[in-house]
Structure 1
Amino acid sequence: MKKSHSHLQTASMQQEQAAEEIVIAGAGLAGLAVALGLHRKGLRSVVLESSPSLRTSGFAFMAWTNAFRALDALGVGDKLRSKHQQIEGLNVLSSATGEIVQELDLRVQGKRGPHEARCVSRNELLQALEEELPSGTIRYSSKLVSIEEDGNTKILHLADGSTLRAKVLIGCDGINSVVARWLGLAKPLDSGRVATRGHAKYPDGHDIGPKFLQIVGQGFRAGMVPCNDTDVYWFFTWSPSPNDKDADQSAAAMKQFVLTKLRSTKVPNRVLEAVERSEMNDVLAAPLRFRSPLSLLPFAGVISKGNVCVAGDALHPTTPDLAQGACAALEDAVVLARCLGDAILGNGGDGEEERRVEAGLRLYAEARRWRGVQLTGVSYVVGFVQQSDHAVVGFVRDKVMSRVLARMVLMMPDYDCGTLSSSVHRTGE
């Protein structure tokens, strides 16, 4: 028995001493996209996921032009297009008057090519990314809890008591990122708003046109958009009051809360019907948090340090008012895989690999810093204006600013993160 125990202990120590080249914390959109980008570059990575399987909460998200450019770079764009219909237009409706205050064609030509928008199933996207990765890339039930240094190697302590050594660590571990905390990035702030989301099924098909409807004003912001012929995604954000504290106790209570709010306004019946027949998200109500754009400025925020960096929500958590959180995470993945891949493969200049890796991650950080500042700052302001129930703000929004706010929805996706090849290095403006 002692001999067996000694043998197991020795094997465990040998396993801990062998360092993985690249470890990615988090198997969400950012983590799997980074892993796939590196795989396309010919590099192996290990993805640590705290859950026992892929997490699919959230149902769907709007994937705009910039997201599909990133997905095309990763080689899965057409796979997603085949399952999700293209959204042709955006209608912005005032909940106070029931009038459409702005209409946009979402198929117009942008500075870098035609626009594209589809409501993409989060589960479908995660599966598409996972299917392209080598077997064994994702290690489930592996939650990162702390990091320590051993020279240039990072020792990763997991929740089950085991450790893993990493030569490169990439934090894609979400808004409560352990890696972002280790880098010293500022804690995300509470926006004072809360969101719930739902998924309405129409087994026999729906007659909702291929348009994204946004509803603004009177203290809430809502939206509804079809994913395909049978699935419709909707969201509802509001600033909670003490009277709202019991709304998230059950799916039935949350649906009733949303319906009560919507029925007090002039919204179309098809919106109410979608909420009534919907399945609610596992997380009934989630606070909307964001990282202050000021904390990402060069003198304030460290996005990369040595052989460690962050991407996705671990870098730039943002309110959903521009529907750009997931899209920006996919941009991050392509830029990071290109910069890091080129560095490791020796295309990042002369010198030892450690120095090239550090330079590659710095290049990534600087390419993404100002994009993060822009997205988090503008999204917060847009959300504040669109949701406000202040009479003056509402008047200016509906009569003066509606066109500007709607155009902002098209301006942010008009961005090209480039390809995985260093010969085509377009990181937008």
Structure 2
Amino acid sequence: MQRKGAAEEDIVIVGAGLAGLATALGLHRGINPTPYHAACRKGVRSLVLESSPSLRASGFAFATWKNAFRALDALGVGDKIRTQHVRLQALHIAPTSAGGTAQEVDLTQPQGKRGPLEVRCVRRDLLLQALEGELPRGTIRYSSRVVSIEENGSTKILQLADGSVLRAKVLVGCDGINSVVAKWLGLQKPSNSGRSAARGFAHYPDGHGFEPKFMQFVGQGFRSGMTPCSDTDIYWFFTWTPSENDKGVDESAAKMKQFVMAKLRGSNVPPEALAVIDRSEMSDILAAPLRFRSPLSLVASSIGKANVCVAGDALHPMTPDLGQGGCSALEDGVVLARSLGEAIRGKDAKGSAEDERIQAALSDYAGIRRWRSIQLIATAYTVGFFQQTDNAVVSFLRDKLLSGVLAGTLLKMANYDCGTL
């Protein structure tokens, strides 16, 4: 039954995060035309629903590897992001206990057949603003939270918190770890990894003077790291397994900062890294439990069903141990925009109807992203276990033998090409 007064939209994307904006921009850009048909390039309009009153930039920053820059270049914003962030020259992984072997990888040197890796620590707010700035005015509708999804034939009826109703021909869920769309599809709820993470940001108006390196410190039950975003900003993180003695540390930013500093002072972390955390503003420190979707649950789950699919954290929430959460969300956006755009803009060889082409496109997208998601989630969880564990035997093997393997794993996961639009 058609609801009176319901507005109709061809493509509705729920969530204006990295995956949502990347998908919307990819659709708007259109498929790369051939030299003979350059004038035929035509974008596809979408509507992005964001529950917040403005762009959300929680998380401060994230490691943006070569695979993410391939996606950003496809979307046309790669060079803008490059000018705002320093390129990292090395990945340094060191044990937090004395006597272990540190591993440093020169990121400027070729890594196998794919050449040198490009890695930058990108501020989330700047990236979201760059993506938003390339979209047509009115693409994002703020303060629009979806509370329920119903079906009317192939059309999806979205009930919003403000009482309004939308009818969508295609529904894309990019609404994060607590996704309404993922729940509607029947995806398993994310699991708690048993670990938590604190993240912060330190600003040096006159310059921080740190080398452009991604520094990580692992072992003794925690993993910590820091990396410059620019000449004036440094991002840092701290992950650990909370115990009964840690209750209350997340009640305020001040307590969280005090807790992190106390943990690091008893380790092999250098004083300059402690100084970065100490300099962070109280309001710039966040802590949250780390959750992930079981990779086994994605083997047979419905990533997409008919004209509905999910992307980003709505699809593959993972622990941050590979630094691939945001990167893979950008990959999702490019792959999804390409598949969906081709289905909407053209006819296939069989002359199928648009609805059939859309279903086939979303099925192709799900096939591509399912196994990539499973690989990333499982690898991130495994790397996190080895890096953070305080088990004596595993710690010995990691500190003496596995540092290079762990560093190599990060680089391998970043050597992925999502293609162009």
Q: In structure 2, what is the Cα distance between the partners aligned to 1:348 and 1:243?
A: 61
Does the CA contact (< 8 Å) of 1:223 and 1:234 recur in 2?
yes
Q: Aligned match of 2:4 in 6, 9, 13?
A: 13
SS of the aligned residue for 1:204 comes to coil
Alignment of 1:16-31 (within 5 A): 16=6, 18-31=7-20
Q: In structure 2, what is the Cα distance between the partners aligned to 1:285 and 1:403?
A: 29
SS of the aligned residue for 2:84 comes to coil
Does the CA contact (< 8 Å) of 2:312 and 2:332 recur in 1?
yes
1:50 paired residue number: 51
Does the CA contact (< 8 Å) of 1:340 and 1:357 recur in 2?
yes
1:337 paired residue number: 337
Q: In structure 2, what is the Cα distance between the partners aligned to 1:54 and 1:279?
A: 22
For residues 243-280 of structure 1, the C-alpha deviation after alignment (integer angstroms, 9 at most, x for no partner) is 11111111111110000000011210111100001135
1:403 paired residue number: 404
1:283, distance to aligned residue in structure 2 (A):
7.2
Q: Structure 1 length as normaliser, TM-score?
A: 0.92
Does the CA contact (< 8 Å) of 1:98 and 1:267 recur in 2?
no
1:217 paired residue number: 219
Alignment of 1:39-78 (within 5 A): 39-41=28-30, 42-78=43-79
Does the CA contact (< 8 Å) of 1:63 and 1:118 recur in 2?
yes
The AA in structure 1 aligned to 2:79 is D
Q: In structure 2, what is the Cα distance between the partners aligned to 1:65 and 1:301?
A: 29
1:394 paired residue number: 395
1:99, distance to aligned residue in structure 2 (A):
5.5
Unpaired segments ≥5 residues, structure 2: 31-42
- Cα RMSD for the two superposed structures: 1.3
**2:199 is aligned with 1:197:** yes
1:154 paired residue number: 156
**2:39 is aligned with 1:37:** no
Q: In structure 1, what is the Cα distance between the partners aligned to 2:275 and 2:99?
A: 17
Does the CA contact (< 8 Å) of 2:344 and 2:357 recur in 1?
yes
1:121, distance to aligned residue in structure 2 (A):
0.5
Does the CA contact (< 8 Å) of 1:196 and 1:281 recur in 2?
no
1:261 paired residue number: 263
2:37 paired residue number: none
Does the CA contact (< 8 Å) of 1:348 and 1:359 recur in 2?
no
Q: Structure 2 length as normaliser, TM-score?
A: 0.94
Identity of aligned residues (%): 66
The AA in structure 1 aligned to 2:170 is V
Does the CA contact (< 8 Å) of 2:101 and 2:403 recur in 1?
no
SS of the aligned residue for 2:28 comes to helix
Q: Aligned match of 2:274 in 272, 275, 290?
A: 272
1:132, distance to aligned residue in structure 2 (A):
0.1
Alignment of 1:299-314 (within 5 A): 300-314=300-314
**2:199 is aligned with 1:208:** no
SS of the aligned residue for 2:118 comes to coil
Q: In structure 1, what is the Cα distance between the partners aligned to 2:165 and 2:224?
A: 44
SS of the aligned residue for 2:384 comes to helix
SS of the aligned residue for 1:418 comes to coil
The AA in structure 1 aligned to 2:131 is L
1:98, distance to aligned residue in structure 2 (A):
7.1
Q: Relative to 1, partners in 2 of residues 1:397 and 1:332: Cα closer, same or farther, differing over 3 Å?
A: same
1:163 paired residue number: 165
SS of the aligned residue for 2:87 comes to coil
2:365 paired residue number: 364
Alignment of 1:317-356 (within 5 A): 317-349=317-349, 350-356=351-357
**2:120 is aligned with 1:131:** no
Does the CA contact (< 8 Å) of 1:23 and 1:169 recur in 2?
yes
Does the CA contact (< 8 Å) of 1:112 and 1:416 recur in 2?
no
The AA in structure 2 aligned to 1:156 is L
1:102 paired residue number: 103
Choose 97-106 or 44-53, whichever is displaced more: 97-106
SS of the aligned residue for 1:285 comes to strand
1:287 paired residue number: 289
The AA in structure 1 aligned to 2:69 is F
Unpaired segments ≥5 residues, structure 1: 1-11, 421-429
Q: Relative to 1, partners in 2 of residues 1:280 and 1:354: Cα closer, same or farther, differing over 3 Å?
A: farther
Moved over 6 A (4+): none
Q: In structure 1, what is the Cα distance between the partners aligned to 2:22 and 2:284?
A: 24
The AA in structure 1 aligned to 2:139 is T
Does the CA contact (< 8 Å) of 1:342 and 1:348 recur in 2?
no
Q: In structure 2, what is the Cα distance between the partners aligned to 1:320 and 1:107?
A: 23
**2:120 is aligned with 1:118:** yes
1:100, distance to aligned residue in structure 2 (A):
5.2
1:174 paired residue number: 176
For residues 44-82 of structure 1, the C-alpha deviation after alignment (integer angstroms, 9 at most, x for no partner) is 000000000000111100000000000000000000000
* Count of aligned pairs between the two proteins: 405
1:187 paired residue number: 189
Q: In structure 2, what is the Cα distance between the partners aligned to 1:20 and 1:98?
A: 61
Q: In structure 1, what is the Cα distance between the partners aligned to 2:203 and 2:337?
A: 37
Does the CA contact (< 8 Å) of 1:348 and 1:360 recur in 2?
no
Q: Relative to 1, partners in 2 of residues 1:348 and 1:398: Cα closer, same or farther, differing over 3 Å?
A: farther
Does the CA contact (< 8 Å) of 1:199 and 1:231 recur in 2?
yes
Does the CA contact (< 8 Å) of 2:196 and 2:290 recur in 1?
yes
Does the CA contact (< 8 Å) of 1:59 and 1:281 recur in 2?
no
Q: In structure 2, what is the Cα distance between the partners aligned to 1:394 and 1:24?
A: 44
Does the CA contact (< 8 Å) of 1:101 and 1:402 recur in 2?
yes
1:242, distance to aligned residue in structure 2 (A):
1.3
